[in-house]
């Protein structure tokens, strides 16, 4: 039997009531960690923590409010005596307008408040408790949309590019204190959140067809990016297996951003 890779560790995950965050919480617990699930959706988050068992607790947290991010970090430390991993996963899709000309800048500001400012607040307050211990792991969810233009609407793409930048600049400082900072950059995971966003972009198209279209667009045939793939990447980065990995954007995309193939026309 394989030893638990996160045995004895304490983790805080934002956006953990559903989707990638919840899947990651489940994987962390399976690998031996105690997990604090943080989310703005109180009822859903409480239910998720209950279902995950005694190793999970829930704390309400709106990442656009720095005081709530700080309080979630303090809660984890008070409850468990330490905090080893903070995974800044909470995010929103933002405006789905396909044209920069029509971009709603008020909505853009709201998207940046969650996807960028919320991540930076998470990095800040994770560092606050990790630097004195000279140990810790900070993770952030980026996206292929932050690597490759045209993969998502402008606001979301810009915000996820900024997440990757925040990871690099934070790693530049925190490496000197023994704290690792990394990003995970997934291909589209067809969670209910993702399907809802695509439904707004392509009204009238059946959900099944939307999911099939995303899966066909991937480069790695015979496989689709699922929540658990991102969760397992997070387990790796949070574990001692990745003890010398920092400032990295771990792309989980089946080669989508690595290359483009030339398709010749039929003769």
What is the C-alpha end-to-end distance of the chain, expressed in Å? Answer: 56
CA distance 130 to 117: 20
Catalytic residue among 50, 75, 87, 156: 156
With a CB cutoff of 8 Å and minimum separation 6, the contacts of 217 are: 256
The Cα 207–Cα 109 span in angstroms is 29
Distance CA 38, CA 65 (A): 13
* 50 is an active site residue: no
Residue located via tokens 């951003």: 257
Q: How far apart are CA 31 and CA 226, in angstroms?
A: 19
Residue 232 tokens read as 């397992």
Catalytic residues: 156
């Amino acid at each position: 039997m394989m030893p638990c890779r996160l045995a004895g560790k304490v983790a805080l995950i934002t956006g953990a009531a559903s989707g990638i965050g919840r899947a990651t919480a489940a994987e962390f617990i399976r690998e031996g960690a105690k997990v604090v699930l943080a989310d703005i959706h109180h009822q859903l988050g409480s239910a998720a923590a209950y279902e995950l068992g005694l190793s999970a607790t829930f704390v309400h947290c709106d990442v656009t409010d720095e005081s709530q991010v700080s309080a979630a970090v303090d809660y984890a430390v008070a409850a468990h005596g330490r905090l080893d991993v903070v995974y800044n996963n909470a995010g929103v899709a933002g405006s789905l307008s396909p044209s920069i000309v029509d971009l709603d800048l008020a909505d853009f500001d709201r998207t940046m408040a969650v996807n960028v400012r919320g991540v930076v607040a998470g990095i800040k307050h994770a560092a606050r408790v990790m630097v004195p211990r000279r140990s810790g792991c900070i993770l952030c969810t980026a996206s292929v949309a932050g690597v490759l233009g045209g993969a998502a609407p402008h606001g979301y793409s810009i915000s996820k590019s900024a997440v990757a930048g925040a990871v690099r600049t934070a790693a530049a400082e925190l490496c000197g204190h023994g704290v690792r900072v990394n990003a995970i950059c997934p291909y589209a995971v067809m969670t209910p959140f993702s399907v809802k966003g695509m439904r707004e972009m392509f009204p009238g198209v059946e959900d099944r067809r939307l999911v099939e279209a995303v899966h066909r667009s991937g480069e790695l045939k015979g496989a689709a990016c699922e929540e658990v793939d991102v969760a397992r990447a997070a387990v790796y980065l949070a574990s001692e297996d990745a003890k010398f990995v920092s400032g990295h954007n771990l792309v989980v995309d089946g080669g989508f951003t690595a290359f483009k193939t030339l398709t010749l026309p039929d003769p």
